[in-house]
Chains A and B, each alone.
Chain A
Amino acid sequence: MLNQPKFRAMVWQALLFAVLAVGLWILVGNLNANLAQRGIDFGYDFLLGPAGFDIAERAIAYESDSSYLRAFVVGFLNTLRVAVIGIVVASLLGLMVAVGSLSPNPLLVWLCRQFVEFIRNVPLLLQLIFWYLTLAVILPDTETPAELLPHVFLSKNGLQFPWFLAGEFPSLEYPVMGTFGLVGGAALSPEFIALLLGLSIYTSAFIAEIIRAGILAVPKGQTEAASALGLTRWQQLKLVVLPQAFRVIIPPTTNQYLNLTKNSSLAIAIGYPDLVSIATTTLNQSGRAVEAISIIMAVYLSLSLLTSFLMNRFEQATRLKER
């Protein structure tokens, strides 16, 4: 009986189950003992209590007496905002670098390769803090903002631009000079700009490598055939090479998008109020370590699972249909 594969399979699985169950039981026991010692009840009902801290950047109304739950939503929206814009910028930059590193011009190739090699081999946290400190130095003072475009200003307050005024008749509100710099309109804070710069430059180097490899993976005969048909270089790229390369490029690129979203959690190091940073403030204030960390994990996990679900759909849709 001991040599029956089915029996042994059962034994192995039962063993793992037992180990996990006992381990979990011990851990939960310890947790309860520790929490009781600190006088904390485990539970998520604290989320409805007032948060008591301010958040500098918010997409929805939030006051310091709003609930913790609302604070988490504000943080999540901030994460989404930097991630979505970062993904767009990183993709464009990555595409440019990839095209540059495949160009016939050796000087341009060299420049693009050096960019990728350097950016990929230096920690993201270092780059982020570098951008943050540098912006703090080079941005013009709040009293003397630089007008980049009409009504669009750059200063130590960040990038300020006109925005829609809520009301019966939607109208534009322009930033105007107050006593301590510009007021009105909408603004992207220097923290946001630093995070966006750091994340999108770092990720673009990885995306550039993926796109380059994807384009190189298209057999040379395809380009030769296209050029024999009289297509120009740009037409060859657009009509023949890129559509084929995309199948190879998309899955790893999605992975990079997820990485960018996860890396946006480094916002905590430069004071941009993303989800993780809000959760940490909550953790320090209320001592709710398990609850706060479990919320971050749940949010990021759902994002990952959602992306892999969409990825699988995409892969099924673009699979080569062979006759």
Chain B
Amino acid sequence: MSESFKALFKGRLNTAITVSLLIFFAWLANELLPWGLFNAVFAVDLNACREARGEGACWGVVGEKWKLIIFGRYPFEEAWRPVVASILMVGSCIAISQRQLWRPSTFMIAGLVLTGSVALMVGGFAGLSYVPTERLGGLALTLLLAILGNILSLPLAVLLALGRTSDLPFIRTVCTSFIEIIRGVPLITVLFMASFMFPLFMPSGTNPDVLLRVAAGIIIFSAAYQAEVIRGGINSVPKGQIEAAQALGMGYWLIQTRIVLPQAFRVVVPPLVNSFIAIFKDTSLVTIVSMYELFGSLRLALGDPEWRAFYIEGFIFVALIYWVFCSAMSRYARGLERDFAAARR
């Protein structure tokens, strides 16, 4: 305590910085606390909100609109289904993140649970009413797209990474150009491709489901980025190991699946979590092709002219949700990195 206290006032410049920062914080607290807390309206009361405008926040907008923000256009009577599905999805992610559970059976079970949670939300069986996929929305859709876009993309990413590091020139060229093309363009173009171009390339008359198309776009996009991460892991495996395996008479696939990939995966888990975070944030772009995930639902909610003026409160609410998920993941990635670095020593 006294050490860090000394550090605050050591030297003239340092003291000046400390003092001006303290003044800044005091000013900020003086501005924000009355606005966010003391003068704020917590009740769902439009008139009180209008009166407090400029002096106090209107947290009532969250009270009024939370159903729409969290569930999007999903029928609210059936809200328990996305709730259960979200708990299942987050639960399987937490399970996968536990290192003592890193075995094939865990991944199989998690895959089944994820499939189950999609089925639960769409329904149409066992007495569950059918909800068309374009009605899926809110936090559950954000989670679903992020998880699909990161799990289903992994097999493709591994194949692309193996292809790019392969000795066969044609396969290497195809994989390299695919990766570079996708990484070279913004996600929006990939989403536009999925929603405008994809139908043109399908047999006429068929109209693939919009959720499926968007998910396919995100999967392809994240596969290209993951492939580069995995390639880094593959390259980090010493060449001597591959030569030793070849000397033992092992074939290409045996070497890759038994020697290279298991060692590569250890290195790539932290950066893969980081690409998960990126995709989690990027799912917000699907609102541009009119799917209402968490942020899209917020804008849907703020479409109400009466409450539109209180957009800042709504934005803070949604930003906090994103921040909680993303910073939990980045903390996890940093923890893994530290442990792996310690293990290598």
Contact = CB atoms under 8 A, between A and B. Distances in A.
Interface of A: 9, 12-13, 16-17, 20, 27, 30-31, 33-35, 37, 103-108, 111, 117-118, 120-126, 129-130, 133-134, 262-263, 265-266, 268-269, 276, 280, 283, 289-290, 293, 296-297, 300-301, 303-305
B243 interface: no
18 contacts: A9-B167, A16-B171, A27-B201, A33-B203, A34-B200, A107-B18, A111-B21, A118-B323, A121-B281, A121-B326, A121-B327, A121-B330, A122-B323, A126-B319, A265-B188, A265-B189, A296-B192, A301-B181
Interface of B: 4, 7-8, 10, 14, 17-18, 21-22, 167-171, 174, 180-181, 183-189, 192-193, 196-197, 199-204, 277, 281-282, 284-285, 287-288, 295, 299, 311-312, 315, 318-319, 322-323, 326-327, 330
Contact of A126 (B200, B203, B284): B284
Contacts of A297: 181, 184-185, 189
B204 A37 contact: yes
A106 B17 contact: no
A6 to B, nearest CB: 10
Nearest to B319: A122
B22 A121 contact: no
A72 B41 CA distance: 48
B14 A104 contact: yes
Given A20-B174, A262-B186, A33 B204 contact: yes
B188 A30 contact: no
B185 A301 contact: yes
Given A12-B171, A130-B315, 11 more contacts: A30-B202, A108-B17, A121-B323, A123-B284, A126-B322, A265-B186, A283-B196, A289-B192, A296-B192, A297-B184, A297-B185
Given A105-B8, A265-B188, A304-B184, A30 B295 contact: no
B196 A263 contact: no
A20 B203 CA distance: 17
A27 B8 CA distance: 66
- Dominant secondary structure at the B interface: helix
A107 B21 contact: yes
Contact of B22 (A33, A107, A124): A107
Contacts, number: 141
A9 B203 CA distance: 33
Given A121-B330, A266-B188, A266-B285, A106 B170 contact: no
Nearest to B318: A126
A301 B201 CA distance: 22
Contact of A105 (B7, B193, B295): B7
B283 to A, nearest CB: 8
A130 B302 CA distance: 12
Given A106-B7, A106-B8, A124 B186 contact: no
Contacts of B4: 106
B224 to A, nearest CB: 12
B197 A126 contact: no
A9 to B, nearest CB: 5
A296 B185 contact: yes
A289 B197 contact: yes
B15 to A, nearest CB: 9
